[in-house]
Amino acid sequence: MNLQQLRYVRETVRRNLNLTDAARALHTSQPGVSKQIREFEEELGVDIFERHGRRFVALTPPGRELIGIIDRILLEVDNLRRVGENYAAGDSGRLTIATTHTQARYVLPRVIASFRERYPKVRLSLQQGNPSAVARWVLSGEADIGIATESLDHLEDLIALPAYTWTHSVVVRPDHALANSGALTLQAIAEYPIITYSKEFTGRSHIDEAFAAQGLAPDIVLTAIDSDVIKTYVELGLGIGIIASVAFDPERDRQLKCFEAEQLFPINTTRVAIRRGAYLRDFTIAFIESFAPDLTRERVIEAIGSNRTADAE
């Protein structure tokens, strides 16, 4: 048994049991992967993959049990590497953050600016996608941490720590009928065409819930994953916009009038997601702390509940 065999099995499972794909992804030859998997199965005495002729069609029952263990082993192997880097190259390395557009565009810039000042030698990369992709990237290890407002709970191997809360705002053109009204109501908003986020994004589910709770059927004429796109179409007069409050910039968005809507829609919580059992580099924890000062180093270590010993600086 060796680690390479475990990697081959894991990758083959991840690639929908396509061994050829797995070999390509691992930059190695397909027969090599085939042989190693065979030998691994022989050593364990059980088949991991159910084969129809020469094709893999499913995991066997022992295969399903093994894959969970294999995932944990390879996670811990990554952790060994990270511990090494943390001590050997404390302030340099790479930090991959999976997140959504709103975070990347409106929240992270100031955090990243200060992070880069403190850790100039860390190479940052942002993986942008929808919240379930964010969760997937963190779970697979492609990203170190994930930041999103939805879809980060209800996953056993994902730890989602609340970072901050925020509310939506309504934006309209200055010449819109609602522009000079007093306090907005959901009823009033529902009379006009609406532009807001796509399903799954940036608290959209809370928007839908709020309307549904009052039996309203809003006319959502356009959705986007992107606050800038929403604002652009509001400016064009296509409807009124519902966006995250952080996405309104009084300086830039002079063509729009903004109403805070914290009374109308439920409060949203943006969370930082970490893979359970993953070892976090010091600078990763520092990033989280700088993103959400409530999440102190101690609380993060406590929450991931593993690996890091108490005396680790």
Write out the residues near a copy of itself by the rule CB under 8 A: 1-3, 43-46, 61-62, 64-66, 68-70, 72-73, 76-77, 79-81, 83-89, 279, 307-309, 311-313
Distance (Å) of CA 181 to CA 72, 172, 220, 256: 57, 11, 21, 14
The nearest distance, CB 27 to a copy of itself, in angstroms, is 17
Asked whether the beta carbons of 216 and 265 are under 8 A apart, the reply is no
Determine the Cα–Cα distance for residues 296 and 120; give it in Å rounded to an integer: 21
Residues 6+ apart with CB under 8 A from 40: 1, 5, 6, 8, 9, 48
Determine the Cα–Cα distance for residues 225 and 210; give it in Å rounded to an integer: 19
Pick one of DNA, a copy of itself, none as the site partner of residue 279 (Cβ within 5 to 8 A by kind): a copy of itself
Q: Fill in the per-residue mask, 50 to 79: x = in contact with DNA (CB under 7 A), - = not in contact.
A: -xxxxxxx----------------------
Placement of tokens 């991840």 in the chain: 14
Determine the Cα–Cα distance for residues 255 and 162; give it in Å rounded to an integer: 34
Residue from 20, 140, 165, 185 that binds DNA (CB under 7 A)? Answer: 20
Question: 57 or 177, CB closer to DNA?
Answer: 57
The nearest distance, CB 80 to DNA, in angstroms, is 15
Closest alpha carbon to 309 in 279, 276, 272: 279
Pick one of a copy of itself, DNA, none as the site partner of residue 296 (Cβ within 5 to 8 A by kind): none
The nearest distance, CB 141 to DNA, in angstroms, is 20
The nearest distance, CB 24 to DNA, in angstroms, is 10
Closest alpha carbon to 125 in 100, 92, 91, 97: 97
Question: 84 or 293, CB closer to a copy of itself?
Answer: 84
**Residues binding DNA (CB under 7 A):** 2, 4, 17-20, 27-32, 34-39, 51-57
